[in-house]
Structure 1
Amino acid sequence: MGLLSLVHIFALCVSLFASGVFSAFGYTSSGGNFIIDAGSANPLIFSVSQSSCDIRSIKYRGTELQYGPQGTHINSGLGSATVSVNLIAGKYIKVTCVTSTLTHYLVVRQGDSSIFLATYITAQPSIGELRFIARLLPDKLPNEHPFGVVSTTSGSSSTVEGSDVFVVNGQTRSKFYSSNRFIDQDAHCVFGGSDLMHVCILTPQQESSSGGPFFRDINTNNAGASTNLYNYMNSGHTQTEPYRMGLHGPYIMTFSRSGIPSVRTADVSFFAELGITGFVPNSARGTVSGTASGVASGMQGVVHWFNPTAQYWTKTASNGGFTSPPMKPGTYTMVLYQTEFKIATSTVTVHAGGRTTVNIAGTVQPTNRRTLWQIGVYDGQPTGFRNADKFLRMHPSDSRMAPWGPLTYAVGSSPLSDFPMAQFQSVNSPTTIRFNLGSAPGQATLRIATTLAFAGSRPQVVVNGWTGPASPAPTKIDSRGVTRGAYRGHGEVYDVVIPAGRLVQGQNTVEIRSISGSSGATFLGPNFIYDAVELFTV
């Protein structure tokens, strides 16, 4: 009898002794794979390649869910890895896959229909992305939650952009349209069958990812050949900060018959028992508490902490109070947002086992400023502007979009939807603003707050025929934005000083144009996204 068979029998005996009932919990070896049985009431049995770490089979309640030609794996598959398996405390099975720069863990807990995962890296993967992808059978799991068919690209007739935006039944669809802000992330799932079998990903925290609370990335995609379920941890999709190394996770792939789990009930504290490289238990962490002030009424306050190794966030209560998640010790930049618009920055140091108390106060508009008019709100989003209610789930060229213009907005009479959420250099430039002033204000400032720029796009204004200076180039983000349903970038704010005499009593006209050092056809060319536009004097 082989060593693995003896280990398997030992696992079964330990399980039997511990629970007092029969359980199939355990593992064995067959055909170059580790076969792992979670011993759950709704049976979950999966196989992991001993040479590559790919999951080659996933059977839930006796139904095979794994797409055959490709595995479920980290990145696009490790190719080769040193793969080992251990039984821990009689109730956990841990698979460890090791390469020169990455260690990937797959863990089952006895009786739980879930695969718990974690990935430790010392270098960004050569493919440029750190992601976990489950490739599953579309005839068993055709549907996507929570956003439905917007990211189902099966049956496409053509592409709109590159190889990742498709046309299906006259509608644009893309895997990018399945995204959700990290701060809002709960379960994202694929599901189907008569008993609505669900396979879901839960991410209790993204402390080693990059991008902050408002970052969003691909979650699901029924691509036709396979239905894909993702956990993106590092990617170049509208990347705004360096990648973080260390332990990513734990994260969880859950299997259920009909219900959708919630990240709020996910417990990964048992990872402290498993010898996971980089895992820091709550007992070795600290918290930050305090009160945030200065957030406008009706907007959400968000506090964000980050340093080169970790990131955390929390929403404030109605009275401004907040308490951070358990954080790794260290010194952090601390930011207060009004929804997504940064209004304060400070620093704080977190100590293991300690609770630091610190308050943070922000402001958007100094008290000595007199606003003549404002279009939109300072919330870090294109809230209320034309097509802002659609772009997260479809391409700007989609026929369901309202016409982009060029548009004219009349201050005091036009609805907010007459102002475009994005300024495309080749599509709707310029946007014209008309307004009346009771008297000439002298020198004034036109503030244009943006959320994201692509291909160097930034505003240049013409005021009653006077051409303002070219705005400085934005910080480059090497990724498409609005055409992938993204709007979060560096949030450049441009102040254009309008000399005295240029604004007059009566009717005035401001044109805002998109300029850049680049060119491009239609929506693929340079563009920026609006947050708010304000004319004020000091």
Structure 2
Amino acid sequence: MSGSVNRPVRRRTFVLGTAAAAGTAALAGPLAQGASAAAFGYTDDGSNYVVDTGASLVFKVSKSNGDLTSLVYRGVEYQGYGGMNSHIESGLGTSTVSIRQSGTTILISVAYGTLRHYYAARSGENNVYLWTNKADTSVSATRYIVRVKKGLFLNDEPDSYTYTNSTIEASDVFAKSDGQTRSKHFSKLRVMDYNYVGWTTGSVGLWIVRSNHEKASGGPFYRSLLRHQSADGGGLYEILYYGQNQTEDQRFGLQGPYVIAFTDGGAPSSSLFPGTLTTSWADSLGISGYVGAGGRGRVAGVGITGRNTAYAYTVGLANPAAQYWGSARASDGYFSIGGVLPGTYTLTVYKGELAVYSTQATVSAGGTTTLNSIAIPATNDPSNASAIWRINDWNGTPSGFKNADLMTYAHPSDVRAAAWTGNVVIGSGSETSAFPCYLWKDVNSGLLVYFKLTAAQAAAAHTLRIGVTTAYANGRPQVAVNDTWTSAIPSPPTQPNTRSLTNGSYRGNNHTFTYSVPASAWLTDTGQYNVLKINVVSGSGSTSYLSAGTAIDAIDLLA
């Protein structure tokens, strides 16, 4: 299914960008003039509205269904593969499409049922600004995909695959001949970790700069597919709502702008990034659901005490209508979250990805809600509990466990993964690195942890805690000690009901299982190792890596 290469590839480079990366890259600002000197404006070719940005970009939008049918930059067509256009979801049906120019802005409006979608161009910019307003579930609109012609950007990254790779799961996870795995799901990043996604040849960059995701779901740590590359071509995504590994209900309303940006090979300008992009020029365009800066507010916190300074802290705001987040300053915990729609929000403080504090905050238009210093109670952080032993630290992620980093961009069967089996000895110094980040009923259930107790410790009952970040098919841990005591089977907590552990995500709902182990379970000989067995139990799941499983945050035996 290969084809001729459309143009020479100068350099194979894959980029998922952050603001820090953009600061060192060659920038193409939103008002930077392109090489061409064409006149800004639009025409009607009968089937499409044709927009010339007056820079180096000309694009077309179908008058019948609102598809983006052409994306020509410096005379090269980038749009389309497999006979498909760029569009919402898999394309809308017959729609009402209109266009108008307001000074230096051209706006194309698409109406399909209750859905409203918009494309905007600004004079002299090589950008297309997009908004999508999904009002309800009557219209399926969970993504926008920019389809890019084959041969323009080549790479061999975790989200790339070819049809000569063998399919190992669900027709969307592949294995190369060398045993490395590939999938469109393997993005590596949480939503808070990137501002843009795309490719560069060194002389041309094509990017989607994400929106602020205020109408998306899943929070700052959510992971979803961002990009793919195959033999047919490539796709860049703005995910409006992604059902896989989802922990929240879908939100409705206007999402955007997100931006299709061309550059001279560098990163897109940081002025396009969520949090820095200003769109006062769109205030009077009549975009359905649009709320300008004057109709938004801010939440600011003086500081956060009770933090473990070894970790980054994030503050999130969420209600059924919107979500936002921001980083707490490392020195004192100060935070400021702007551009917030009016309303009352649950404010959550996260240590890493573990919620350790929650309160309410009400935001009004044009105002700043200032919060006094937040004090995290010591009991809210499970790491503060005195433990006889602890494997990993409590931070809401499996980071540090065996294979944890690899699992954000590879399948568990990947040749680069260390063996998922193997037991753990407390006091060995390798407890965390030897303990697998994921446990499955069909793969490594029955893992053993060896540990010794003093006479005083063995004479008392103790609480064992196992923290998890998600589960697949209701997988949860049942434990046994020394083959003399076995816990009850715990009830499964609420978790996403889709694949997770095999498609690059450990993110679900953090949950702590607690087990009260009686003193009679311990060995009285202090020279002998007690043996903890951790089994994965469930009545659901398939086989192998799709059997019931769970991702581990931390395990400890309290004093």
TM-score (norm 2): 0.87
Aligned alpha-carbon RMSD (Å): 1.8
Q: Quote the Cα distance in structure 2 between the aligned partners of 1:22 and 1:444.
A: 76
CA shift, 1:361, in A, is 2.8
- Pair 455,369 (structure 1): closer, same or farther in 2 beyond 3 Å: same
One of 391, 401, 418 as aligned partner of 1:385: 401
Distance 1:273 1:477, change over 3 A: same
Q: Hey, what does 2:174 align to over in structure 1?
A: 166
**Counterpart pick for 1:27 among 37, 42, 54:** 42
What does 1:253-402 align with in structure 2 at a 5 Å threshold? 253-261=260-268, 262=270, 263=273, 266-290=277-301, 291-318=303-330, 319-358=332-371, 359-362=373-376, 363=378, 364-365=380-381, 369-402=385-418
1:448 to 463, 466, 485: 466
What is residue 133 of structure 1 aligned with on the other side?
A: 145
Query: Partner residue of 1:530?
Result: 552
Tell me whether 326-335 or 174-183 shows the greater mean CA deviation. Answer: 174-183
Letter paired with 1:285: R
- 5+ residue gaps, structure 2: 1-35
1:352-392 CA distances to partner (integer Å, 9 max, x unpaired)? 11111224332444799431111011111101111012111
Amino acid at match of 1:464: N
Contact 1:179 1:219 in 2 (8 A): no
Change (3 A) 1:94 1:390: same
- Spell out, residue by residue over 1:36-81, the C-alpha distance to the aligned partner (whole angstroms, 9 max, x if none): 11111xx100111000111111100000111250000011100221
Q: 1:425 aligns with which of 441, 447, 453?
A: 441
Are positions 1:81 and 2:81 aligned together?
A: no
Structure 1 residues 426, 270: CA separation in 2 closer, same or farther (over 3 Å shift)? Answer: same
Instruction: Name the aligned partner's letter for residue 173 of structure 1.
Output: R
**Cα distance in 2 between the residues matched to 1:22 and 1:523:** 56
DSSP 3-state at the match of 2:315: strand
Secondary structure of 1:270 counterpart: helix
How many residues get paired? 506
Residue 91 of structure 1, aligned match among 104, 110, 128: 104
Q: Deviations over 1:480-503 (max 9, x none)?
A: 001000011011111111123222
Partner of 1:9: none
Alignment of 1:203-214 (within 5 A): 203-214=210-221
Q: What TM-score comes out, normalization by structure 1 length?
A: 0.91
Q: Summarize the Cα distance change of 1:376–1:369 in structure 2 as closer, same or farther, 3 Å threshold.
A: closer
The percentage of counterpart residues that share the same residue type is 36
Higher mean C-alpha displacement, 463-472 vs 108-117 = 463-472
Change (3 A) 1:79 1:23: same
Residue 157 of structure 1 is matched in structure 2 by 165
Counterpart CA distance in 2 for 1:420 and 1:38 is 52
1:411 equivalent among 419, 426, 429: 426
Gaps of 5+ in 1: 1-20
Contact kept in structure 2, 1:458 and 1:527, CA below 8 Å: yes
Q: 1:366 to 1:160 in 2, by over 3 A?
A: closer
Distance in 1 of aligned mates of 2:381 and 2:54: 59
Contact map agreement 2:113 2:139 (CA 8 A) in 1: no
Q: Quick one: higher RCO (CA 8 Å, sep 6+), 1 or 2? A: 2
Cα 1:28–1:374 shift into 2, 3 Å: same
Query: Which position in structure 1 is the counterpart of 2:84?
Result: 70
Q: 1:468: Cα distance to partner?
A: 0.6
1:298 Cα deviation from its structure 2 partner: 0.9
Q: CA deviation at 1:125?
A: 6.2
1:313, 1:325 within 8 Å by CA — same for their partners in 2?
no
Shift of 1:293: 2.3
CA contact (8 A) 2:37 2:54 kept: no
Q: Which letter does structure 2 place at the counterpart of 1:216?
A: R
